[in-house]
Amino acid sequence: MTAIALVVDDEVDLCRLMQITLTKMGIKSDVAYSLSQAKSYLENNHYDFCLTDLQLPDGSGLELVKQISSSSNTPVAVITAHGSMDLAIEALKIGAFDFVNKPLELPRLRQLVENALKVIHQDESIQATDEITPEQQLLDSRLIGNSTVMQTLKTTIIKLARSQAPVFLSGASGTGKEVVARLIHDLSPRRDGSFVPVNCGAIPSELMESEFFGHKKGSFTGAVADKQGLFQQASGGTLFLDEVADLPLAMQVKLLRAIQEKTVRAIGDTKEVPVDIRILSATHKDLSQLVKDGEFRQDLYYRINVIELKLPTLNTRRDDIPLLAKHFLALISEEWQLGTPAELTESACTRLQQHEFAGNVRELRNILERAITLAETTMISDTHLGLPKLNDSDTVGSKELAEREDISTVSTVNNEPMILQVDGPQQNTKTDNSGHLSNNLHPYRTHSQHYSSAFQMSTTQSDSVNTSSVYNQDRRKPDQFVDDIHTQPSLVSISEAELPQKGLEAYLQEQEKRLIIKALNQTDGNKTQAAELLGTTFRSLRYRMKKLEIDEE
């Protein structure tokens, strides 16, 4: 069936141009030259998508975006004049599908319309069948858990996938930021395009511009051939900026322009090339605090942080731990070719639910990898987990765990991002300015990627029980860490009746590696502070990390 669009703009020539373009694409259209006329059309007709200017003679196009978004799933794209990017960002926050800049570029307009049509067809296919859709199957295969948080997560990811708005994922390490980013891409109209992930903290600052935007042959020493940048590689798809807080300020300026203008210029080139990408970004750091401290540009913060997903820790959804553990045990058995998957005893399952996961889902998998290695049979008991013993006051009951699980939202106000959050002991559900319910979600990592174990194996049971995950960071003040090193015998001592089988040197290196990782985790990867805690120099720490093969990330 032919799609029908509503075009709203007070410029007659621009309306005719858009109408001709839509007609060539096989799309019928009605044209409204004012806000009141557009509302009249909407009362008497159904439209598959809408394209509206934000500056209208009798009002703002934002009012139209709110009306359509709150009453239907019709995609609404906005047209912005030069210099009104803040209005476009606000439109995306209240439900706009995408935006296009003036002067209007027809290739960009056609791409926007095609994406809108994909969303329409996707919605129709979901409504046409009562069976489980491929989208739902994909969500169920990657997001394991039946908690309220997980069910809401799946619903909200589908909503985010329909939009082209930038999404910012914040949360502690191991909470599954890249998993959610991939799901948003795979469920979006851009799923046929590339998903290009990039760790912003892993690129040397002097190579960053070349990596992002590419370069021409001969533009600098060593440029022996043309190179396509990450923006060009992601054109038509999604660019995922992981650890975006690690971008240097000089690069933030260039990134801001590329996102705002949707064009990039390679090093040594004389012209800018248009790119059609959706930006997803993530970091474990407090980006708003970095903005206050002057370490991150405020304008870039508002560009990438239109919708914010705050990902909670695994501790907030402990009821999902048994399912997660079963899933990981099956994955590990398949990857290690062990045959029958290992199983947890009831005591082991209870102990996992009582553990404080500082490393979240990634830590859970590491614990299970170690347990499989230490267990002599396919049954894993709590002694194989290598977790410290609990005091009575540390035990968490299942009723208390269930009460922790909740969903709270923060509405969008002015330039503040829409925050989707899972946290808090009380339920507090709000709506944003458009009347939409904002849901927060918690994903986790389920890729079959084999995470390298963060634990060093001990040959004795006593040592394995005393050895805790490196992600179990102490929640004490940094100045207590040095005393911690000298006063905790469980980290550096060995029973008098036993000697290390691999020799003294290997054992000492193993203990040194544990302490360095512990210091780095406690300082959020800050090597200067970690060196101070360890009583050594920055240079010496870098040398030791290289010698012990500790990944700087």
pLDDT in 10s for each residue of the chain, 553 residues: 588 999 999 999 999 999 999 999 999 999 999 999 999 999 999 999 999 998 899 988 899 999 998 888 889 999 987 667 788 888 888 889 888 888 888 888 998 898 888 888 776 655 555 566 778 888 888 888 887 787 777 888 888 888 888 999 988 888 888 999 999 999 998 999 999 999 999 999 889 999 999 999 998 888 889 999 999 999 999 999 999 999 999 999 999 989 888 899 999 998 999 999 999 999 989 999 999 999 999 999 999 999 888 887 888 889 999 999 999 999 999 998 888 899 999 999 999 999 999 889 999 999 999 999 888 888 999 999 989 887 655 555 444 444 444 433 333 334 455 555 544 333 333 334 433 333 333 333 333 333 333 323 333 333 333 333 333 334 344 444 444 444 443 444 444 446 666 677 777 888 888 899 998 888 888 888 888 888 887 767 877 887 788 877 6
What the chain holds in terms of domains, given with CATH numbers, is: 4-127 (3.40.50.2300), 166-305 (3.40.50.300), 473-553 (1.10.10.60)
C-alpha span between 183 and 161 (Å, rounded): 8
Helical spans, DSSP H, in 214-359: 230-233, 249-261, 287-292, 298-304, 321-335, 346-354
Residue found by looking up tokens 């240079």 in the block: 539
C-alpha span between 94 and 424 (Å, rounded): 25
Q: Which of 89, 103, 96, 93 is nearest to 64 (CA)?
A: 96
Q: Which of 208, 294, 299, 197 is nearest to 251 (CA)?
A: 208
pTM score = 0.66
Residue type present at position 322:
P
The contacts of residue 334 (CB under 8 Å, 6+ apart) are: 341, 448
Q: Which of 37, 35, 40, 33 is nearest to 18 (CA)?
A: 33
Residue type present at position 231:
F
Give Cα separations from 74 to 46, 123, 124, 212, 416 (angstroms): 9, 10, 12, 34, 25
| Dihedral angle sign, alpha carbons of residues 181, 257, 262, 57 | positive
Number of H helices, E strands in the chain: 23, 20
The two three-digit tokens of residue 200, written as one number: 């912003």
The two three-digit tokens of residue 135, written as one number: 């989208």
The contacts of residue 295 (CB under 8 Å, 6+ apart) are: 245, 249
